[in-house]
A and B are shown apart, each in its own frame.
Chain A
Amino acid sequence: SAVISQKPSRDICQRGTSLTIQCQVDSQVTMMFWYRQQPGQSLTLIATANQGSEATYESGFVIDKFPISRPNLTFSTLTVSNMSPEDSSIYLCSVTRDGYTFGSGTRLTVV
Chain B
Amino acid sequence: AQKITQTQPGMFVQEKEAVTLDCTYDTSDQSYGLFWYKQPSSGEMIFLIYQGSYDEQNATEGRYSLNFQKARKSANLVISASQLGDSAMYFCATGNAGGTSYGKLTFGQGTILTVHP
Contact = CB atoms under 8 A, between A and B. Distances in A.
Given A105-B43, A105-B44, A100 B105 contact: yes
A33 B103 contact: yes
Q: How would you classify the secondary structure of chain A's contact residues: helix, strand, loop or mixed?
A: strand
Contact of A33 (B35, B47, B104, B107): B104
Interface string B52-86: 00000000000000000000000000000000000
Interface in A1-60: 1, 31, 33, 37, 41-45, 48
A102 B108 CA distance: 16
A104 interface: yes
Nearest to A106: B43
A48 B104 contact: yes
Size range of the interface on B? 20 to 34
B43 A104 contact: yes
Contacts of A94: 45, 103, 105
B50 interface: yes
B25 interface: no
B109 A100 contact: no
Interface-centre pick from B35, B42, B91, B93 (highest chain A CB count, 10 A)? B42
Contacts of A96: 102-103
A102 B107 CA distance: 14
A48 to B, nearest CB: 7
A103 B47 CA distance: 11
20 contacts: A33-B105, A37-B43, A42-B108, A42-B109, A42-B110, A43-B45, A43-B105, A43-B107, A48-B103, A92-B45, A94-B45, A100-B35, A100-B95, A102-B44, A103-B44, A104-B42, A104-B43, A104-B44, A105-B42, A107-B43
Interface of A: 1, 31, 33, 37, 41-45, 48, 90, 92, 94-96, 99-105, 107
